[in-house]
Amino acid sequence: MDIYKLINNNYVLVDYIKSDDEIDKETLQKIRQRYSEIEEIKLHRQKLNGENINEYNEYNAYVELCRAEGKSKKLINAEKLALTEEIEIGTDIIQKIRVIK
């Protein structure tokens, strides 16, 4: 979501806030860079069979780190979004934008 600020009577783009879906996709991409879907399934199956526990724990720690980073980004974005408001601009074509309060 684009964030604007009124500067010299013009709305200027000053920030971009990613949606939760965008952050979720980034988080999954980060996990996929290290572990494919097939590798994840294999690790889960091995853990259920009591095998390869150390590698599973390493994998799980990495996934939880990625998830924590994603949650942190979402909280920061929610805080930024709380400092904005939606307004309508334009005369012929009305456009809704988010501006810093």
Q: DSSP labels for the chain?
A: -EEEEEETTEEEEEEE---HHHHHHHHHHHHHHH--HHHHHHHHHHHHTT--HHHHHHHHHHHHHHHHHHHHHHHHHHHHHHTEEEEEE-SSS-EEEEEE-
Contact present, 11 and 99 (Cβ < 8 Å): yes
CB 5 within 8 A of CB 100: yes
Which pLDDT score, from 0 to 100, does residue 92 have? 81
Determine what percent of the chain is predicted with pLDDT higher than 70. 100
- Tell me if 27 sits within 8 A of 70, measured CB to CB: yes
pLDDT of residue 79: 94
> Is residue 91 scored above 80 in pLDDT?
no
φ and ψ at residue 3, rounded to 5 degrees: -120, 130
Instruction: Report the mean per-residue pLDDT for the chain.
Output: 94
Per-residue pLDDT of 6-40, as tens digits, reads 899 888 999 999 999 999 999 999 999 999 999 99
What's the pLDDT band for 78 if we cut at 50, 70, 90? very high
More confident residue, 91 or 59: 59
